[in-house]
């Protein structure tokens, strides 16, 4: 008679693995709603916090292949325990950080390195726990749902914690999860250490430095300027305006130099017959790299549109944060419903056609959303467009993983999934940073120009630029009531027309970002024709 499994074996161990991805997604999701009080406390800017998020995702993605190699060489249990300890240290550093520098070290450096282990371990252990294909498929879907729920809870609770208590409590909550996770996953049988390829540490550092400096430089351009530094160079810190120019091109140039050194270093190693950078593995697969690019770009669109809705709805419709979350939730509900439906019942069509159908549906949803963003705007009026967008996202997410992994070996699956997930986090950070910044910048320009036109006066271009920059900071860091107090200080002659100016600026800016999102969605559709039409096996989706 077979021995009956205990509760821990049946539910506890898988729950612990799901909590790992829940914790990682929560960490990413919680940063955005706590940004305003954090930026005010640090006397920093939204751009620097966004750069920390970009760096965290990039560090995790870059070191995931190496982390998987270490897990096989030293033993997965030992490496996992170390990673959980490092993650706890990173949370402590973030919670006690007195400024943006230490915060970035904790978030991007410590949590990013720990995340490289934590992001791939659940997939590896799920494959060992569920050797049958059906059990493995549903377990991987559970991991995907855990990631979605973690990001959603982070977005919902982060703002409440930040404004009612402190943004630090939003991170401190995770310290309680770490011992629970270890108690749940510790009994899992893990493979013994085995010989693996040597690790190219210098190549890894050059990779992180090259991509990291380049992406951080690009993400800071709106804050510090493309070439000419914003503000007076003499009054700026040397770190923001070295040699009298903006730090952005300096960072981008340094990143490109590191990437050039990386190419030279890898050629030398290849010539000597030594293993390539960080066991590049899946990155050498053309189809994988293409699918990874499409997936990351798609995530950038999705998160960027959602983030902009969270900025737009309170300002134009007047809903609070909880009501806004409810108004936007049909998107996530439709996405999860379609994803679960397609996991259970697979249509008999080539996966690429279904993925392309998802992109077309999503593009239609974005176009519908742009059409309904016209006064009078109601939360109910947004519902059909959000459902269509969510449905298209669910279809896309179901098949992009299978197509991306079409030419990867079976023994690369854990590494491929481990790399794919942080790249989606990177796309999310870029979506908030690029599309979110663009929305606020366009709205600020139109508000300032509308007020000046209503006053019937001309102002100096430098004064106009300063006003636009100040308004951008106010929109990103002040509560709605504080922003209203700021607008109340404007001359009485402008007050009757002010609401119309604010609403018109928000609507035009939102429609512009939606048109850009639509163009990016069509770009994904065009790139998808380079993916294979069919695949040997259908993989479980990744959120």
pLDDT given for residue 499 in this prediction: 82
Sign of CA dihedral 464, 470, 473, 474: negative
Domain with CATH 1.20.1250.20 in the chain: 8-194, 282-434+512-543
Nearest CA to 118 among 203, 8, 10, 25?
25
pLDDT along the chain (543 residues), means of 10: 55 87 87 77 75 77 72 82 93 90 85 86 80 72 81 74 76 90 86 62 71 66 62 48 69 80 73 57 71 91 88 80 79 86 79 93 95 85 93 90 79 67 75 82 86 80 79 70 74 80 88 94 94 78 64
How many angstroms separate the CA atoms of 9 and 229, rounded?
A: 58
pLDDT given for residue 457 in this prediction: 76
pLDDT given for residue 232 in this prediction: 47
Following CA atoms 57, 63, 68, 73 in sequence, which dihedral angle do they give, to the nearest 10 degrees? -150
What tokens were used for 536? 């040997």
* Domain topology for 8-194: Growth Hormone; Chain: A; (1.20.1250)
How many angstroms separate the CA atoms of 266 and 470, rounded?
A: 46
How does pLDDT run across 511-532, given as a tens digit for each residue? 999 999 999 999 999 999 998 8
How does pLDDT run across 78-125, given as a tens digit for each residue? 889 999 999 999 999 999 998 887 888 888 888 988 988 888 888 778
Query: What are 380-388's contacts with CB under 8 Å, separation 24+?
Result: 382/309, 382/313, 382/327, 383/330, 386/328, 386/330, 386/331, 386/334, 387/330, 387/331, 387/334, 388/334, 388/361, 388/362, 388/364
What tokens were used for 462? 């430098």
Classify residue 242 as exposed, middle or buried by CB count within 10 Å of its CB (0-12, 13-18, 19+): middle
pLDDT given for residue 235 in this prediction: 40
CA angle 20, 187, 414 (to 5 degrees): 50
The per-residue b/e assignment along 252-281, b for 16 or more CB within 10 angstroms, e otherwise, is bebbeebbeebeebbeebeeeeebebbbeb
pLDDT given for residue 41 in this prediction: 83
> Are 302 and 431 within 8 A, CB to CB?
yes
Considering only the top CATH level, what class is 282-434+512-543? mainly alpha
How many angstroms separate the CA atoms of 323 and 311, rounded?
A: 13
Give, in order, the Cα–Cα distances in Å from 276 to each of 197, 199, 325, 358.
10, 8, 45, 36
pLDDT given for residue 391 in this prediction: 94
Strands (E), 42-150: none
Neighbours of 429 (CB within 10 A): 28
How many angstroms separate the CA atoms of 513 and 436, rounded?
A: 9
Peptide bond into 456 cis (omega under 30): no
The per-residue b/e assignment along 77-110, b for 16 or more CB within 10 angstroms, e otherwise, is bebbeebbebbbebbebbbebeebeebbbbbbbb
CA angle 494, 497, 498 (to 5 degrees): 75
Give, in order, the Cα–Cα distances in Å from 190 to each of 3, 68, 411.
20, 13, 16
How many angstroms separate the CA atoms of 364 and 345, rounded?
A: 24
pLDDT given for residue 384 in this prediction: 93
- Judged by phi (left if over 0) then psi (alpha if -120 to 50, else beta), residue 281 lies in left
């Amino acid at each position: 008679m077979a021995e009956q499994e205990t509760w821990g074996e049946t539910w506890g161990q898988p729950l612990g693995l799901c909590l790992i991805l829940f914790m990682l997604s929560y960490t990413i999701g919680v940063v955005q709603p706590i940004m305003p009080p954090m930026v005010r406390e640090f006397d920093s800017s939204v751009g620097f916090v966004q750069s920390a998020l970009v760096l965290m995702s990039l560090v995790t993605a870059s070191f995931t292949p190496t982390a998987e190699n270490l897990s096989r060489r030293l033993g997965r249990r030992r490496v996992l325990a170390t990673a959980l300890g490092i993650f706890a240290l990173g949370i402590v550093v973030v919670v006690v950080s007195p400024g943006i520098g230490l915060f970035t070290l904790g978030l991007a450096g410590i949590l990013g390195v720990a995340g490289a282990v934590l992001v791939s371990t659940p997939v590896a252990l799920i494959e060992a726990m569920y050797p049958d294909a059906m059990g493995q498929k549903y377990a991987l879907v559970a991991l995907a749902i855990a990631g979605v729920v973690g990001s959603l809870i982070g977005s919902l609770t982060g703002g409440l914690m930040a404004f009612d208590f402190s943004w630090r409590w939003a991170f401190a909550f995770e310290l309680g999860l770490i011992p629970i996770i270890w108690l749940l996953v510790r009994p899992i049988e893990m493979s013994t250490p085995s010989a693996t390829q040597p690790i190219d540490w210098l190549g890894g550092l050059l990779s992180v430095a090259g991509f990291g400096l380049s992406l951080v430089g690009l993400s800071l351009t709106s804050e510090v300027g493309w070439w000419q530094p914003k503000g007076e160079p003499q009054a700026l810190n040397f770190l923001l305006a070295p040699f009298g120019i903006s730090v952005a091109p300096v960072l981008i140039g340094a990143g490109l130099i590191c990437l050039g050194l990386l190419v030279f270093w890898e050629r030398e190693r290849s010539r000597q017959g030594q293993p390539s950078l960080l066991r590049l593995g899946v990155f050498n697969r053309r189809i994988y790299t293409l699918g990874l690019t499409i997936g990351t770009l798609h995530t950038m669109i999705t998160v960027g549109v959602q983030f902009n809705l969270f900025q737009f709805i309170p300002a134009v419709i007047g809903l609070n944060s909880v009501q806004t979350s409810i108004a936007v939730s049909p998107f996530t509900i439709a996405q999860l419903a379609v994803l679960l439906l397609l996991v259970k019942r697979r249509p008999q069509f080539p996966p690429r056609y279904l993925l392309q159908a998802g992109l077309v549906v999503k593009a239609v949803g974005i176009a519908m959303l742009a059409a309904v963003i016209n006064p009078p705007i109601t939360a109910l009026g947004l519902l059909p467009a959000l459902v269509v967008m969510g449905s298209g996202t669910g279809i896309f997410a179901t098949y992009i993983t299978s197509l991306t992994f079409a030419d990867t070996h079976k023994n690369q699956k854990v590494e491929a999934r481990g790399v794919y997930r942080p790249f989606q986090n990177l796309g999310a950070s870029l979506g908030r940073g690029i599309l979110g910044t663009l929305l606020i910048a366009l709205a600020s320009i139109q508000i300032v120009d509308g007020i000046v036109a209503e006053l019937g006066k001309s102002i100096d271009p430098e004064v106009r630029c300063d006003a636009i920059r100040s308004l951008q900071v106010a929109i990103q860091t002040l509560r709605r009531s504080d922003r209203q107090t700021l607008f109340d200080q404007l001359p009485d002659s402008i007050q009757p027309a002010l609401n119309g100016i604010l609403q018109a600026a928000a609507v035009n800016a939102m429609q512009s970002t939606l048109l850009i999102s639509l163009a990016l969605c069509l770009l994904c559709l065009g790139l998808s024709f380079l993916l294979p039409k069919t695949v040997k096996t259908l993989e479980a989706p990744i959120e």
